Structure 1
Amino acid sequence: MSMLDIATKLSFWGPVTLFALGIPGALINGILFIGIKTFRQSPSSYYVVGQSLFDIAALLILFLPIFPSLPLMSSKISCRLMVFFSEVTVPCAMSFLCLAAFDRWACTSRSARIRQLSSKNIARCLFPMPFLFWSCVNAPYLIFVDYVPQLSSCWFTNDLFQQIATYFLTPFMVALLPLIILVIFGILTHRNIRLIKHMHIQQNQARNRLSQWEQQMTRMMIAQTCISIICILPQLIGLLYSVATLNTRAMRSYDQVVLEYLIGQITTFIIGINFASSFYIFFLSSPRFRKSIKTYLKQLIQVRDNRIGIMDASFTAQNAVTQHQDKHH
């Protein structure tokens, strides 16, 4: 099997696999962090829900292009909207992950003033900010991108914005900056946890229960941060390579083109893992998260059984009344 065949198969089965695994996981994440009271007590729940929403959007953007019959890039309006939402979705998902990493650092800090930054009120205020910020940053895509019939795809209509997007927005704002933020707050959070373990502070039972859940949230977020860093690195390297070799693309051989296409598909699949893996990372890294899921499912089943029992009792009572009336008639 040639490299081109491998890249072609990966371009189809990669998005299909990520979509099949990631969409259910992201939906379950959103339902759990909204539906379970213990989860809602943590400010990070807002960021997890926001990330889940944009993870779904990112997986859809990766999945839909495998259907050539869909007119995603065949007109000026659909072309601009598709490119705009593609450029907004991925940074938004990464922004919520960065906010969660910041929240874990603030939550584990020994400084009371810094711990105040980890609150549900602040999380509510910050919740719409990633979408608003990245919509403003990427608004020029709605103006300076258009459908080019000769290329059968979207391309820039403004040379200046093309250079800004190629050399600054995509490599720095989308890949390098989130990576730096995740690494910094991941290290700081790990340092805070090590300091906390050496502290012996008396706390009441309720505080201990909350602390245990916050510790589990911190553990989950650190695990997700590590996976995200691993997933972002290949994309960042690929983007830097593309920028460095931009002026020499016309001199590439066929084998180089195929190899770069294969590497591009691999890096796309790896970054897609970042959007599809949150629920599975939480499930594997936190025993309390697994226990909460089991308890939540039991409650749902019990409520359903109770409703069925009530309906059966009501139906039986109606039958009894009907039979009694028939006897009198």
Structure 2
Amino acid sequence: MSSTYTFAGKQVIIYCGIPVFAAGVLGCSLNMLVFLSLKTFRESSCVFYLTVMSMVNIGTLFLGFFPRIMVSLFSTDGTEISLFYCKARLYFSQIFIGTSLSCYCLATIDQYFATCTRLQWQLWCNIKLAIRIIIITVIIWILHGIPYVVFYDHVVSSTTNQTTCINTNYIFDRYRAFVTLLLLIGYFPIMIAALFGSMALRNVQQLAFRTVPLIRRELDKQLTNMVLLQVVVSIFTLLPYTTVSAVATSTSTINDPVYQGKIQFAVTVTFVFYYISFASPFYIYFCASGRFRRQLKYVLFDIHLSRIFPNQIEPQMTLNVQ
């Protein structure tokens, strides 16, 4: 029975994971293209966080999600062959995931400050400060990942004689399960983003009664809708895997193979949902904002395709796009 759940889990990874991976890489690339092509976005600290998030999301999908697809397809991801890859994949994967979720929280916090009535809080929203915060954030995650390099190693099974890449330190294993997975890249980002996202939404609803330039008002509404919908999606993608992983860790001593098979199948399914959170931002923004859809069309056709086919496409720049 447990083998049935294992087979079903592989099918979920193959037939659901591959489309999620491909769509995620494409979507993150389009996000960066739009954000870096328009001056309005390049001047926004909130969009700066979203741009960095899109960059590291590609790394997250390649180092965190793609190896799981390889295991389902070929029963190997290469970590048992190279000790360097064994350590490096896990090390950089946690850096990318941590940085991505940090940017996700920082974007919602930044949007809350940007829509506040107090001028001194609005001054916190600037590119120079955002760059410093991102550098500090990346350094923290780099230092946090050092135990992955130290404690992950090749271990040869005494029964199957197969080499696996596993954690060899019990204390770090508990820390990773209950602090890193459960809190740092689990519940904390969702709670922070939900709190500041809801407060930013309340601020935006009051913009109509405040003297704010039209372009600034429309940009604040657009960004708030984008990050708030992302918060909603993240609740349904991040929470299930975090919760199921906690259950799996706490019940790992149960020897019932059928029960363990069901738990691992649930972990596999929610694992795909977890990485949907890193693959979906572009599609969230596309659905949340008609302005973003117009900006995407403008960037793709009026800016970039006009360079390829200059005699066929005439560039047009309109206020509602910028």
TM-score w.r.t. length of structure 1? 0.85
Instruction: Answer yes or no: is 1:141 the counterpart of 2:141.
Output: no
CA contact (8 A) 1:42 1:214 kept: no
* 1:48 CA displacement: 1.2
**C-alpha distance in 2 between matches for 1:193 and 1:38:** 18
SS for the counterpart of 1:154 is strand
Of 47, 67, 81, which residue of structure 2 is paired with 1:45?
47
**C-alpha distance in 1 between matches for 2:167 and 2:303:** 53
* 1:95 CA displacement: 0.8
Q: Give the letter for the 2:310 counterpart.
A: N
Counterpart for residue 26 of structure 1: 28
**C-alpha distance in 1 between matches for 2:184 and 2:306:** 48
* 1:307 CA displacement: 7.3
Counterpart for residue 125 of structure 1: 132
**C-alpha distance in 2 between matches for 1:164 and 1:305:** 55
Counterpart for residue 305 of structure 2: 301
Given the superposition, is the C-alpha separation of residues 233 and 65 from structure 1 closer, same or farther in structure 2, using an over 3 Å criterion?
closer
Counterpart for residue 192 of structure 2: 181
Counterpart for residue 236 of structure 2: 230
CA contact (8 A) 2:190 2:235 kept: yes
Q: How do residues 233-272 of structure 1 correspond to structure 2 at under 5 angstroms?
A: 233-246=239-252, 248-249=253-254, 251=255, 253-272=256-275
What are structure 2's unaligned runs of at least 5 residues? 314-322
SS for the counterpart of 2:153 is strand
SS for the counterpart of 2:166 is strand
What are structure 1's unaligned runs of at least 5 residues? 310-329
Q: Give the letter for the 1:142 counterpart.
A: V
* 1:170 CA displacement: 2.1
SS for the counterpart of 1:306 is coil
**C-alpha distance in 1 between matches for 2:288 and 2:154:** 45
**C-alpha distance in 1 between matches for 2:47 and 2:168:** 41
1:3-27 deviation per Cα after TM superposition (whole angstroms, max 9, x unaligned): 4432120122232111111111100
**C-alpha distance in 2 between matches for 1:201 and 1:86:** 44
* 1:235 CA displacement: 1.7
Q: Who wins on radius of gyration, i.e. which is larger? A: 1
**C-alpha distance in 1 between matches for 2:167 and 2:119:** 49
Counterpart for residue 55 of structure 1: 57
* 1:282 CA displacement: 0.6
Superposed structure 1 runs of 4+ greater than 6 Å apart: none
CA contact (8 A) 1:15 1:59 kept: no
TM-score w.r.t. length of structure 2? 0.86
**C-alpha distance in 1 between matches for 2:84 and 2:43:** 42
**C-alpha distance in 1 between matches for 2:276 and 2:47:** 21
Given the superposition, is the C-alpha separation of residues 159 and 215 from structure 1 closer, same or farther in structure 2, using an over 3 Å criterion?
same
Given the superposition, is the C-alpha separation of residues 143 and 305 from structure 1 closer, same or farther in structure 2, using an over 3 Å criterion?
same
CA contact (8 A) 2:233 2:277 kept: yes
* 1:300 CA displacement: 2.4
SS for the counterpart of 1:118 is coil
Instruction: Answer yes or no: is 1:91 the counterpart of 2:112.
Output: no
CA contact (8 A) 2:177 2:246 kept: no
Moved more, 129-138 or 99-108: 129-138
**C-alpha distance in 1 between matches for 2:176 and 2:151:** 11
CA contact (8 A) 2:248 2:263 kept: no
SS for the counterpart of 1:147 is strand
Q: Give the letter for the 2:147 counterpart.
A: P
* 1:261 CA displacement: 1.6
Q: Give the letter for the 1:263 counterpart.
A: A
**C-alpha distance in 2 between matches for 1:80 and 1:295:** 43
**C-alpha distance in 2 between matches for 1:301 and 1:77:** 42
CA contact (8 A) 2:113 2:121 kept: yes
Q: Aligned Cα RMSD in Å?
A: 2.2
Question: In percent, how many aligned pairs have the same letter?
Answer: 23
